[in-house]
Amino acid sequence: MEENLLKTCLYDKHVALNALMSPFGGFIMPIQYTSITDEHNAVRNHAGMFDVSHMGEIFVSGPDAEKFVNHIFSNNVTGIPDGKILYGMMLYPNGTVVDDLLVYKEFEPDHYLLVVNASNIAKDYDWICAQMDGFDVEVVNASDSWGEIALQGPETEKFAVETLGLKPAADLGFYTYYETEWKGARMVVSRTGYTGEDGFEIYCSHETINEIWDILLAAGVAPCGLGCRDTLRFEAGLPLYGHELSDEITPLEAGLGMFAKIKEKDFIGRDALAAQKEAGLTRKIVGIELQDKAIPRAGYPVEVNGEQVGTVTTGYRSISTDRSVCVAMVDKAYTELGTQVEIRIRKKVFPGIVTKKRFYETNYKK
Amino acid sequence: MAKTVEGLYYSESHEWVKVDGNVAIVGITDFAQHAMGDLSYVDMPEVDDELEAGEEFGAVESVKAASDLFCPVSGTVVEINEELEDAPELLNQDAFANWIMKVEMSDPSELENLMDAAAYEAMCANE
C-alpha cells in the first residue's frame, strides 16, 4: 500500500468490517465488504450506504457569489431557490471538463456549496481560485473537515426518517436539501445520489459521520463499496470523471448538453461549446449492447469493418439486467441507435448494437 | 485459506495442469478464483488452437476485472469445458474439479518448468 494515501474518517469502520481496500482518487477506499453483486442488489432492492467522505466540499460566498458560480459552472444558478441543487461541470476555455460537480444553493444569501470529485479536489480548488479576479467572493476548501455518507436504495427514506429521525427528509424533492443539527453540529441532508435509486447524501463532521454509520449499520443498512458504486452509476447512465468526462471530452460529446446552458448565459468554455454545436459533433458517447456474454471493458476498441471507430469508456456484465453492455466514445457516423458495431475483446471481436447509454430504469423521487 | 491439490503442476500465473497421458488438463487454482471473486464469464479458446507455453489463451472475468489465462505447456487444444460458458461460477465452487481446456502436449518436458503444490503454496504465501 502506498504510504501517502489519505484515509477517510470511516477508515477504521471499513477495516473492522474486513473490507477489501484499494486506492481511489488519492484515498484508500473500500471496494467491497462481501461481494459487489450482493451490495449492488442491496441498493437496487433495499438500502445500502457508501462512505463518500473522500468527496470534496468547497464553499463559495460573497456579494458576487452568484455571478462567480455562473462564470465557472456550466449550469445556471441565477435565482435558484435556497435548498436547490444543480448538477453541471466546470469547463476549460476549450470546452473540455475540469470536473463535474453538484452546486448547493445554501440557506444564506450569496452562499453556495460545491461538491466535487475526490481525485480533483486540489485541481478544482486551484482552478476556482485562479478565476476569482474581479469577483468579490471568498472560496474555502473544507474537504478535510467534512465527512459524507450516501444512503441509497428504495427503502432509504424509512431509514432516514425513522432510524435517524431526519423527519424533513421525507418531504425533500429530488435534487433539494435541508440543513439541520445533530447534537449541535451542522448537518446537510440532500435527496441526491449516484446509483439511479432514491436516496440521500448526508454531510457532517467526522465524529457525527461515525455515529451515523454505526446507527445505520445496526439498523440493517448494507455497507457498500466503490465496486458496486461504479456498477450502479454505470447502469443508470451516470458519467464518471476520467471515463465519460475528462479534460479531453466536452459535455456535448458526453451527451450532457442539457447541463451546459449555452443559450442562457456566459461561462468559461461556453463559446467553445457553442462553436462545437454549430460545427457539429465528430464523436459522442453511446451505449453498446453485446449479444455474447463477453464483457467489454474500458479501453477496448470499437470497430466497424476491422477499423477502430471508438473506445469503450466503461463496461460490465450488468448486474441488474444480466446483459453485457458498455458506454463508448464513438465517431459520429456510428452513433445512431441500432448501428451495428464490433468490440475487440482480447483476440476476438464481438458484434454489438448501439443503444441508449442508460441501461436501467432509474427510480428517483420526483 | 486457498487449497491446493497434490500431484498437479502449477504455473506462476495460477493455472494448474493435470497430466493424463500426453494430454494436459488445464484449470485455474483456488487461489486465483478466490482473488478474482464471483466469476461472470470465461473466455475460452477454441478446439484446434495451437498454443505456445506462456501464450494467452483466454480470460476469466469477475464483475470488476478480466484476468488473462496463460497456457502452461505448448500444444493443441483438443477439448474445452463448454459447461463453463453458461456456468462460470463452477470455478468459484470448485476450481480443481472444473477444468477449462485439454491440450495435446507437443513437448511434455515443459512440465518440468512448472511448480509442484508445495512450491506453488510458497509462492502464493508471498503474494
Please give the residue of chain B at the shortest CA–CA distance from A36.
Answer: B63
Contacts of B41 in chain A (CB under 8 A): 293-295, 317, 324
Q: What is the CA radius of gyration of chain B?
A: 13
Chain B touched by A36 (CB under 8 Å): yes
Contacts of A295 in chain B (CB under 8 A): 40-41, 61, 66
Q: What tens digit of pLDDT does each residue of A221-274 get?
A: 999 999 999 999 999 999 999 999 999 999 999 999 999 999 999 999 999 999
pLDDT > 90: percent of chain B: 88
Contacts of B63 in chain A (CB under 8 A): 36-37, 227, 231, 316-317, 319
**What is the mean predicted confidence (pLDDT) over B83-104?**
96
- Other beta carbons within 10 Å of B50: 14
Identify from A40, A317, A348 which residue to disrupt to test chain B contact, counting B C-beta atoms within 10 A and taking the largest count. Answer: A317
Q: Indicate the average pLDDT of chain A.
A: 97
| d(C-alpha B17, C-alpha B19), whole Å | 6
- Using CB atoms, pick whichever of B58, B63, B68 lies closest to residue A37: B63
- Helix, strand or coil for residue B122? helix
Under the banding of pLDDT at 50, 70 and 90, the label for residue A1 is: very low
Q: What tens digit of pLDDT does each residue of B8-39 get?
A: 999 999 999 999 999 999 999 999 999 898 89
- Using CB atoms, pick whichever of A35, A317, A319 lies closest to residue B37: A35
What pTM does this model have?
A: 0.93
pLDDT at A366: 64
Under the banding of pLDDT at 50, 70 and 90, the label for residue B126 is: confident
| d(C-alpha A269, C-alpha A266), whole Å | 9
- Helix, strand or coil for residue A41? helix
From A173, A215, A216, A204, select the one nearest A83 (Cα to Cα): A173
Range in A123-137, A204-218, B56-70 with the lowest mean pLDDT:
B56-70
**Is the Cβ pair B43, A294 closer than 8 Å?**
yes
Cell reading at A315: 463496461
Helices (H), ranges, A140-247: 156-158, 206-218, 226-235
**Is the Cβ pair B63, A346 closer than 8 Å?**
no
| d(C-alpha B86, C-alpha A90), whole Å | 45
Under the banding of pLDDT at 50, 70 and 90, the label for residue A122 is: very high
pLDDT at A4: 84
pLDDT at B127: 80
Under the banding of pLDDT at 50, 70 and 90, the label for residue A3 is: low
pLDDT at A99: 98
Chain B touched by A225 (CB under 8 Å): no
| d(C-alpha B127, C-alpha B125), whole Å | 6
pLDDT of residue A347 exceeding 90, the answer is no
From A73, A67, A132, select the one nearest A262 (Cα to Cα): A73
